[in-house]
């Protein structure tokens, strides 16, 4: 089935796990951020509209093939059932993606890679319209974008994209503190974030802004939290999604740590940073912690009404004994705990205690480097 294949990009947001993936651009046009390793060493490429349309046509051919197999296999044309069966042994990655998309209902698509907004607006509009015409079950189209690119677009262009069917943009805000943005070589300023974000909101496209907890390290954590909250308050996006800084070889920031230019914050310091961030937010966004790198995934809610509930979850962690906090940190990092209440499951707690004995040098305490190493598995 080699004719049933098309190229896929390396990443998509967790919230787009069941979306059809269509690669509109290849790699990242900026590709200098110190905390990112995804596209390093790769050249950015714009794809032609015709190339993209061919991939969409191929996705439809895979959909039709799954439906055909469904009839032949006795599933009575049930695409969802056949797609589920196909997931166990797909012929290639593209086939798997289409099958997963169909299994989940076939209603959402995500345009890859890092910044599809960089395309000419009329071409991106053409792609979105063709996608929805070719696969009419799609009711939701989302993509990554950069604040600076959005800021440079005319409002009328963003409205055109919204009217064509672009439902949501995922933007890596990371921080609202200019010295930190400059140090991380993000290529944007707080003003760029605000202008681009507010323009997206005004266009009617749903906006999700991403913040990296711990990005300021031990040196700039307080300014990172407060200034980021100020920027997010002005943008008032639909969603604020947090990720915790995780570093591995291949990132320029890894070398900065090795050279002593950047000092990573601990989990407990990052929790305090998150508390400060939430305290200073004055907006109407959903605060979402949907990533395994976050220590307290339960810190979620709608602002402003759930602010106190979120702060209470942080206070609950901070009020634990040092031994309980240490146990929870390890439990999260080895994948045993989901939320703080898991501490009171004695089976899980005992399992984590055994893990601590194995991971620690003295049998009692797991050092920070081990915690950082455990986190690398998740990126």
Question: Are 64 and 178 in the same domain?
Answer: no
Which pLDDT score is estimated for 77?
59
Rounded Cα distance, 273 and 266, in Å: 10
pLDDT along the chain (379 residues), means of 10: 83 94 97 95 96 97 85 68 77 92 94 97 98 98 98 98 98 98 98 98 98 97 98 98 94 94 96 98 97 95 98 98 95 95 96 93 81 84
Residue linked to tokens 């032949």: 72
Number of domains forming the structure of the chain = 3
Which pLDDT score is estimated for 114?
95
Which pLDDT score is estimated for 76?
64
pLDDT digits (tens, 9 = 90+) for 248-297: 888 999 999 999 999 999 999 999 999 999 999 999 999 999 998 999 99
Residue 159 within a domain: no
Q: What is the CATH number of the domain that holds 201?
A: 3.30.750.200
Residue 28 within a domain: yes
User: What are the two backbone dihedrals, phi and then psi, of residue 26, each rounded to the nearest 5 degrees?
Assistant: -115, 120
Asked if residue 247 lies in contact with residue 257, where contact means CB atoms within 8 angstroms, the answer is yes
Question: Are 216 and 251 in the same domain?
Answer: yes
Residue 157 within a domain: no
Question: Are 115 and 188 in the same domain?
Answer: no
Which pLDDT score is estimated for 363?
65
- Exposure class string for 214-244: b at 16+ Cβ within 10 A, else e: bbbbeebbebbbbbbbbbbbbbbbbbbbbbb
Strands across the sheet containing 166-174: 20-23, 108-112, 140-145, 166-174, 206-213, 239-244, 286-288, 301-302
Tell me the sheet residues that pair with 168.
142, 206
Which pLDDT score is estimated for 347?
97
Question: Are 26 and 84 in the same domain?
Answer: yes
Residue 26 within a domain: yes
Question: Are 138 and 173 in the same domain?
Answer: no
Question: Are 3 and 133 in the same domain?
Answer: yes
Last residue of a domain, one of 145, 180, 198: 145
Residue 257 within a domain: yes
Question: Are 269 and 298 in the same domain?
Answer: yes
Per DSSP, the three-state class of 92 is: coil
Domain limits at 215?
A: 169-319
Which pLDDT score is estimated for 84?
75
Which pLDDT score is estimated for 208?
98
Question: Are 176 and 305 in the same domain?
Answer: yes
Question: Are 119 and 17 in the same domain?
Answer: yes
Residue 280 within a domain: yes
């Amino acid at each position: 089935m080699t004719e049933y294949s098309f190229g896929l990009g390396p990443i998509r947001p967790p919230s787009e796990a069941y979306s059809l993936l269509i690669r509109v651009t290849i790699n990242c046009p900026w590709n200098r951020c110190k905390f990112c390793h995804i596209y390093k060493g790769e050249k950015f490429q714009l794809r032609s509209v015709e190339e993209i349309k061919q991939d969409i046509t191929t996705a439809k051919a895979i959909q039709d093939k799954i439906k055909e197999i469904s009839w032949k296999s006795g599933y009575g044309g049930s695409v969802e059932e056949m797609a589920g069966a196909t997931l166990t042994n797909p012929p290639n990655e593209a086939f798997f993606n289409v099958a997963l998309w169909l299994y989940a209902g076939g209603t959402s698509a995500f345009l890859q890679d890092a910044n599809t907004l960089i395309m000419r607006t009329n071409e991106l509009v053409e792609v979105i319209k063709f996608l929805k015409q070719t696969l009419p079950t799609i009711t939701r189209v989302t993509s990554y974008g950069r604040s600076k690119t959005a800021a440079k677009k005319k409002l009328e262009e963003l409205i055109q994209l919204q009217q064509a069917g672009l439902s949501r943009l995922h933007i890596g805000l990371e921080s609202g503190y200019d010295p930190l943005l400059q140090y991380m070589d993000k290529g944007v300023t707080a003003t760029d974030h605000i202008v681009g974000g507010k323009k997206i909101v005004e266009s009617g496209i749903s906006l999700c802004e991403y913040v990296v907890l711990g990005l300021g390290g031990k040196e700039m954590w307080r300014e990172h939290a407060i200034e980021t909250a100020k920027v997010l308050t002005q943008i008032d996006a639909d969603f604020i999604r947090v990720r915790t800084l995780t570093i591995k070889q291949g990132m320029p920031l890894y070398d900065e740590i090795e050279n002593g230019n950047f000092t990573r914050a601990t989990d407990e310091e990052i929790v305090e940073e998150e508390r400060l961030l939430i305290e200073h937010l004055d907006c109407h966004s959903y605060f979402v912690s949907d990533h395994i790198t976050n220590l307290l995934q339960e810190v979620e809610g709608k602002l402003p009404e759930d602010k106190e509930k979120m702060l209470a979850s942080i206070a609950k962690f901070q009020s634990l004994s040092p031994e309980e906090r240490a146990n929870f940190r390890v439990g999260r990092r080895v994948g045993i705990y989901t939320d703080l209440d898991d501490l009171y499951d004695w089976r899980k707690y005992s399992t984590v205690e055994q893990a601590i004995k194995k991971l620690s040098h003295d049998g009692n305490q797991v050092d920070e480097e081990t915690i950082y190493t455990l986190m690398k598995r998740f990126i």
